[in-house]
Amino acid sequence: MSLVKCSDIKDLVYSYLGYRGINSDLEIDSLILECFSEVEELSQFRYMMYEYTEIFDFLKRNESYQKLLNNCSSYLFVITTLGSRIDDRCKYYSKTNMKKMCVFDAVASAYLEALADKYEADNIKSPHTYRFCPGYQNTSVEDLKEIFKIIKPFKLGISLLDSNLMIPLKTMCGIIALGKTSKKECGHCAIKDKCEYRKKGKTCF
């Protein structure tokens, strides 16, 4: 798997920080580079995928899941994390440097997204959709509980709180349909009518 470069995620970091339609800032640029080096050093990236053909009941109850899985040959539950050391450093900055904490958090989120994308591109050989996470397009984050019951990702050091918050915090869990392709779209997003990206003719992805 090729490594992610800071330049690969810079635009996404600015997006996470809320810089929309605003020119980059030299101070923030410097902080992004500094935080990227720390995230790269501290990261304990892990990725697991589990393939299924059976459509579980919670997937049948939602139109968005049905659309994702329609005409697929099989599908994957995937889960990936950067590990607990990222959380520890973020907590430290929350007490010592709030500006750096915000940038560090955004860099870590973008870094995980980019690493997961690269891992999937390198390791999923068949045609596949994007990574669809519970909470997208009128689905519920409560569905994480169903996925956790099935894949039991505790051996990766990942747990799920009653609030549906995953620990470590820089963790993603989603579904990828195999044997077909699809693109992200805004049509069924719960906040599409209030979305700042759509107002500017852009998307969040």
- What confidence tens digit (pLDDT) does each residue in 139-187 have? 999 999 999 999 999 988 999 999 999 999 999 999 999 999 887 666 5
Whether pLDDT at 1 is above 50: no
Helix or strand run (H / E) with residue 144: helix 143-151
Query: What value does the mean pLDDT take over residues 95-99?
Result: 96
Confidence of residue 137 (pLDDT cuts 50, 70, 90): confident
Q: Is the peptide bond before 127 cis (omega within 30 degrees of 0)?
A: no
- Please work out, in degrees rounded to the nearest 5, the angle formed at the alpha carbon of residue 13 by the alpha carbons of 7 and 122: 60
Q: Give this prediction's pTM.
A: 0.88
Q: Is 26 helix (H, G, I), strand (E, B) or coil?
A: helix
pLDDT band (50, 70, 90) for residue 192:
low
> Rounded distance, CA 155 to CA 179, Å?
29
- pLDDT above 80 for 81: yes
Q: Which of 10, 34, 2, 16 is nearest to 117 (CA)?
A: 2
